[in-house]
Amino acid sequence: EHNQGRVIHEQEIDAALAKWCSEHSSADIISKLEGVRVPVGPIYSVEDMMSDPHYNARGMFETVEIDGEPLKIPAILPKLSETPGRTDWPGAKIGAHNSEILGDLLGLSEEDLSSLSDDGVTC
């Protein structure tokens, strides 16, 4: 009976929840729902994950160096005690394979590649 009613009124329920959520902060929503024992948790953006103390304490990210600059990236998972894994090479620089992909594979001319670079589309 309850599930059938939820299915029938799904759009109205979603609209009411969306309105209520838009009027409260994420922390307030979590607090209110936890207070009445509703399972709840935040939906993280990448920025949220990378700044979360728990994620960082668990070693979910590592810092590598690219062109002398530090870059925080996802770490090797899962974490194994005897073979924890590591990133040996962070990959090619952005745009390193533009010519091969855009030129050789997709057939763009050198002029096309130059135009894309000049216009800031590629690096």
pLDDT at residue 48 in the model: 94
Which has the higher per-residue pLDDT, 89 or 120?
120
Cα separation, 8 vs 10, in Å, equals 6
Can you read off the two tokens belonging to residue 118? 């000049």
pTM: 0.56
Q: How far separated are the first and last CA of the chain, in Å rounded? A: 58
Can you read off the two tokens belonging to residue 30? 């979590």
Nearest to 68 by CA among 90, 46, 40, 45: 90
45-65: pLDDT as tens digits: 999 999 999 999 998 999 998
| Other Cβ atoms closer than 10 A to 49 | 14
pLDDT at residue 91 in the model: 85
2-39: pLDDT as tens digits: 899 999 999 999 999 999 999 999 999 999 999 999 99
pLDDT at residue 102 in the model: 97
Cα separation, 63 vs 72, in Å, equals 4
pLDDT at residue 17 in the model: 95
The overall average pLDDT reported for the chain is 92
